[in-house]
Amino acid sequence: MRFDPRRVALTLAAPVLALVAAVAIASLVLAAAGDPVIEVWRTILQPPKPRNVVNIINSASVLYLSGLAVAIGFRMNLFNIGVDGQYRLAAFVAAVVAAQGWLPGVLNIVLTIVVAMLVGAMWAGVAAILKVTRGVSEVISTIMLNAIATALVAYLLRKASVQVAGSNNIGTAPIPEDSRMPGIALIPGAPNEVYGFVVVAIAAGIAYSVLLSRTTFGFNLRATGRSESAAVASGIDVKRMVVIAMLISGGVAGLVGMPLLLGSAYSYGLTFQSGLGFAGIAVALLGRNNPVGIAIGALLFSYLNEQSNPLQILVGVSDDIVKIVQGIVVLTVVIAYEVVRRYGVAQEQRKVARELANQRRRDSEEVSAA
């Protein structure tokens, strides 16, 4: 594809527009509540310290995987809201398996990851099978499955748990030291390390990109998302595609809890981070299902999260304002992309009409000259 400055400008226009609008609306909310608008933004926009940079990268890697899981469904018009339940169930089962230490060291890590992906895929597969055999909307079934996953994990946690010394927290047994994923001292001057799992997250992004835009499978998936009727007529088995796409989405969702499990928590307990699946939906929307876009979205969200921590202390404003900003960003991004997309299509149609008119004029000039 040739480099087209206009196309690049169009691509950038939407997120920039959306961010500006989101900041403006959030400022209005702050002003209406009588909070110091300037101070809040100054705190959020101050340069992060090395320690914070590591935190941003770490939580972005988790959000990124979650965003990818959702995006795979989105590319096929499947709304996998169940990433949340899928990753929690997967992380729990993987934590239990990892703690057994059946395999030594790295092999145990591989086993843990495989188990997590299988469990995530299986949980998503329930929704897929309901959809293709009974026509149940995956939106409904995955929401239900989220609730079931919450209950199931809580129930099983009682059975599989060990008391964490000196606290009321319960959790699975910690995974053996030799099968924890070592961190990477990426940022100089930071006391903490970047999750080793960041590498896996990046690899997942590359795999996503290759799978979708370079393979026949990816073509089938995108074709089904763009027009199911055309996909059927072209010989794509749409039901099979639904099942496979949901399985892959669930499998990637299974990875979401892995950076935490293998890189910091080392067990699944009551305090294991939840809600990442829903954040993933926002991140996928923000990144327009594009692997680079999702990365930017994940970094933006985790930046906002990290930078909002001192708000309470420094300016006495609840850090929930950042959640409001994130919510507004998602809405404005969706609107801005649609506006820009329509503008782009209209531009293209105009361009085609113009070029064809020019061709025709040239043709008729040739005829009259001859």
Q: Does 349 bind other proteins (CB under 8 A)?
A: yes
Q: Interacting stretch for other proteins, rule CB under 8 A, among 104-112, 187-195, 220-228, 268-276? A: 220-228
Segment contacting other proteins (CB under 8 A): 88-96, 201-209, 214-222, 314-322? 214-222
- Name the residue among 253, 269, 274 with its Cα closest to residue 113: 253
- For residue 214, the minimal CB distance to other proteins (Å) is 5
167 binds other proteins (CB under 8 A): no
216 binds other proteins (CB under 8 A): yes
Q: Does residue 365 touch other proteins according to CB under 8 A?
A: no
Helix (H) or strand (E) holding 282: helix 276-286
Stretch near other proteins under the rule CB under 8 A, chosen from 79-87, 215-223, 254-262, 332-340: 215-223
CA distance 93 to 30: 42
CA distances for 361 relative to 294, 348, 349, 369, 370, angstroms = 45, 20, 18, 12, 14
3-class SS of residue 234: coil
Is-contact 170 269, C-beta < 8 A? yes
Please, what is the minimum distance in Å from the beta carbon of residue 208 to other proteins? 15
DSSP state of 183: P
Which 8-state DSSP code applies to residue 266?
A: -
CB of 345 to other proteins, least distance (A): 7
Number of Cβ within 10 Å of residue 92's Cβ equals 27
Among 6, 49, 346, 365, binds other proteins (CB under 8 A): 346
| Phi, then psi, of 318 in degrees rounded to 5 | -60, 140
The total number of residues written for the chain in this structure: 370
Please identify, using beta-carbon distances, which residue of 178 and 237 lies nearer to other proteins: 237
8 Å CB contact between 272 and 161: no
Q: Which residues between 37 and 66 bind other proteins (CB under 8 A)? A: none
- Please name the residue that has the structure tokens 């319960």: 170
* Cα–Cα distance measured from residue 205 to residue 198, given in angstroms and rounded to the nearest whole number: 11
Residues in contact with other proteins, counted by CB under 8 A, come to a total of: 32
Give the span between the Cα atoms of 354 and 248, in whole angstroms: 43
Work out how close the CB of 75 gets to other proteins at its nearest, in angstroms, rounded to a whole number. Answer: 12
The reply to whether 100 sits near other proteins by the rule CB under 8 A is no
Kindly indicate which of the ranges 36-44, 158-166, 230-238, 332-340 contains the residues binding other proteins, using the contact rule CB under 8 A.
230-238
Closer residue to other proteins in complex, CB, 37/232: 232
Residue from the set 163, 227, 271, 312 that interacts with other proteins by CB under 8 A: 227
Among 62, 70, 223, 241, binds other proteins (CB under 8 A): 223
Q: Least distance to other proteins from the beta carbon of 184, Å?
A: 32
Q: Would you say 49 or 362 has its CB closer to other proteins?
A: 362
CA dihedral (294, 296, 298, 300) positive or negative: negative
Alpha-carbon distance of 20 to 332, in angstroms, equals 9
Least distance to other proteins, CB of residue 280, Å: 24
206 binds other proteins (CB under 8 A): no
Beta-bridged to residue 184, according to DSSP, are: 194
- Would you put residue 166 in left (φ > 0), alpha (ψ -120 to 50) or beta? left
What is the Cα gyration radius of the chain?
Answer: 24
Print the binding letters for residues 290-329 with other proteins: x by CB under 8 A, - otherwise: ----------------------------------------
Q: Which residues bind other proteins (CB under 8 A)?
A: 1, 214-220, 222-223, 226-227, 229-230, 232-237, 345-346, 348-353, 355-357, 359
